[in-house]
Amino acid sequence: MPQVLFAFDNVSFGYVPGQPVFNKLSFKIYSGETVALLGANGSGKSTLLKMMSGLIFPQQGIFKAYGQEINEQRMEDDAFSQKYHLKVGYIFQNSEVQLFTTRVWDEIAYGPLQMGFTTKVVKQRVEDVLEMLQLENLRDRSPHRLSGGEKKKVAIASVLVLNPEVLILDEPTSGLDPKTEKWLVELLLKLNLKGRTIIVSTHNLELAHVLTTRSLVLAESHELVCDGLTEEIVENHELLTAVNLIDEYSHIHGNIEHIHRYTHG
Partner 1 sequence: MTAEENYLQLPEWMEKTGCQEQVNSSPGRRANFLVKSIRRMKQNIADELMTESFAGRQGILQQLDARLKFVIVVLLVLAVGFVRSIPILLGVWLFTIILMRIARIPVLTMQKRIWGVIPLITLLISIPAMLNIFIDGKPLIMIYESTQQSVLAGIDIPASLYISQQGLTAGLRLCLRIGISLSLGVLLVMTTPAARLFKSMQVMGIPALMVMILEMSYRYLVLLLTLSIEMFEARQLRTVGNLSLSAKREQVGSSIAALFAKSMEMTDEIYLAMRARGYTGQAVYITSEIE
Binding site for partner 1 (CB under 8 A): 15-16, 19, 50, 53, 55, 76-79, 81-83, 85-86, 89-90, 92, 94, 96-102, 110-111, 114-118, 121, 124-125, 128-129, 131-132, 134, 144, 158, 160, 162-165, 183, 186-187, 190-191, 194-196
Which of 91, 243 has the CB closer to partner 1?
91
State in angstroms the smallest separation of the CB of 61 from partner 1: 20
State in angstroms the smallest separation of the CB of 129 from partner 1: 7
Which of 96, 231 has the CB closer to partner 1?
96
Strand, coil or helix: what is 115?
Answer: coil
Tell me the C-alpha to C-alpha distance, in Å, between residue 61 and each of 11, 76, 177, 218, 259. Answer: 4, 19, 40, 18, 43
Q: Which residues of 222-250 are buried (b: 16+ CB within 10 A; e: fewer)?
A: bbbbbeeebeebbeeeebbeebbbbeeee
Which of 24, 103 has the CB closer to partner 1?
103
Which of 190, 237 has the CB closer to partner 1?
190
State in angstroms the smallest separation of the CB of 227 from partner 1: 25
Which of 121, 229 has the CB closer to partner 1?
121
State in angstroms the smallest separation of the CB of 209 from partner 1: 21
What is the Cα Rg of the chain in Å?
A: 20
Which of the 8 DSSP states describes residue 136?
G
Q: Which residues pair with 90 in a beta bridge?
A: 168
Q: Which residues of 52-63 are buried (b: 16+ CB within 10 A; e: fewer)?
A: bbbebbbeeeeb
State in angstroms the smallest separation of the CB of 257 from partner 1: 35
Which of 8, 110 has the CB closer to partner 1?
110
Which of the 8 DSSP states describes residue 2?
P
State in angstroms the smallest separation of the CB of 219 from partner 1: 22
Dihedral, CA of residue 90, residue 91, residue 96 and residue 100, to nearest 10: 50
